[in-house]
Amino acid sequence: MSLRGHNRGDAAHVPVERYLIVSIDARRFALSADLIQGLLTPEESRSSGTLSVQGRDYAPLNLAARLGLADSGDGPESRIVLVARAGVCACIRVEQVHGLVELERSHVRPLPDQFRGDERAWYTGLILFDEGVAVGLNSDWLVGGLMQSLGAVTGHVQRPPQLAQVGFDGMRKGLPC
Amino acid sequence: MLRGAVGRQRQASSRRCHLLVFSVGGRKLAAKTEEVGGISAWTTSISVPSCTPFVSSVIRRGQSIFPVYDLAGMLNVRVKGSQRLCLMAKQPAGAMAICIDEEMPVLHSLDIAKIQTYRGQDLDAAGCFADEFEEVPIISLSRLGAA
């Protein structure tokens, strides 16, 4: 085996993880890219209730409230993130979308043991992002929230006109809708 | 006798306690030097929503992330100064950062016999000692936030 071939093989095996980095109440969070179905502007979504996009209903999930954060309302950079897991769909309003990033697993640090409360179930770890840190949200915990949302939602379904598809072409550049 | 003298010297030095005296919100506190990982300039902390009392942010230092213990919040005071300092507390779970006043901490060597029981209810202190002006609680950095 040539050295070049050996190196290529090694590079291919570096484990990477993909996240959508968003802001809620001026804090950065990382959603696993596996969850993400698309992004909408508030104008496109037209509603704070359940959205129907391409035949799927997305119930609202108030992530800010689940994390005990302030709901800052819509701003110029606000987006609606459509997520789905195990057949459960939800839409999450965020302050800003910073971009879709692909990181080596070594950039994900475990939550320090000094965090001893319920938050240990909320997060998968802390992610080195730019010069700061994004908090990695646990998809399983989010699914629990999605199910609660589905149980609570009784409102009618709104149908937005367009859906921005998320692709890795826009990695680290933001994802305009 | 030499052997006896060395033994007495060891006994004498072992009766002294080495402390770092610092302040948070103007309040003087002390900690054992072996529980202090270092002192540096404070950097902006990053909030992490949390249910753990007084642990709701982290700081990043290069490729490392450290939890922050809000000692000022626990004491119900505000950290003083624009050039605040970061005290790194050694803990079994890993180092933890504490924001302290800009007043430079000082090393203090104290006869163990001068350490008294701390009777205050506001913090879990391993003891206290009296300096010229006030009673200074000795906090256990390694146990901070563990209760």
Q: Which A residues, 47 through 106, put their C-beta within 8 Å of a C-beta on chain B? A: 67-69
Residue A54 falls within a domain, yes or no? Answer: yes
Q: Is B41 on the interface with A (CB under 8 A)?
A: no
Q: Quick check: is A3 in a domain? A: no
Asked whether residue A74 is assigned to any structural domain, the reply reads: yes
Q: What is the pTM assigned to this prediction?
A: 0.82
Is A44 a domain residue? yes
User: Is A10 within the bounds of a domain?
Assistant: no
Average pLDDT, chain B: 90
In chain A, residues with a C-beta closer than 8 Å to the C-beta of B60 are 128, 131-133
Burial B76-102 (b: 16+ CB within 10 A, else e): eeebbeeebbbbbbbbeebbbbbbbbe
Per-residue pLDDT band for A11 (boundaries 50, 70, 90) equals low
Number of domains in chain A: 1
Cβ-defined contact of B93 to A113 (cutoff 8 Å): yes
Looking at residue B17, what is its pLDDT?
93
Q: What is the CATH number of the domain that holds A169?
A: 2.40.50.180
Of B50, B60, B93, the CB nearest to A133: B60
ipTM of the complex model? 0.87
Q: Is A150 exposed, middle or buried (0-12, 13-18, 19+ CB in 10 A)?
A: middle
Q: Which chain B residues in 87-116 lie under 8 Å from chain A, judged by CB atoms? A: 91, 93-94, 96
Decide if A136 is inside a domain. yes
Which stretch of A58-62, A158-162, B49-53 has the lowest confidence by average pLDDT? A158-162
Q: What is the pLDDT of residue A75?
A: 85
Domain that includes residue A84, residue range: 16-176
A1 lies in a domain?
no
The model's pLDDT over B3-48, given as tens digits with 9 standing for 90+, comes to 544 445 555 556 899 999 999 999 999 999 999 999 999 999 999 9
Q: Is residue A118 part of a domain?
A: yes
Rounded to whole angstroms, what are the CA distances from B135 to A145, A166, B147?
50, 61, 24
A68/B93 Cβ within 8 A: no
Span A97-155, pLDDT tens digits: 999 999 998 899 999 999 999 999 999 999 999 889 999 999 989 878 667 656 654 44
Residues of B in contact with A128 (CB under 8 A): 60, 63, 65
> Strand ranges (DSSP E) for A41-164?
51-53, 56-60, 79-85, 88-94, 96-104, 108-109, 123-129, 132-137
**CA-CA distance, B68 to B88, in Å (whole number)?**
9
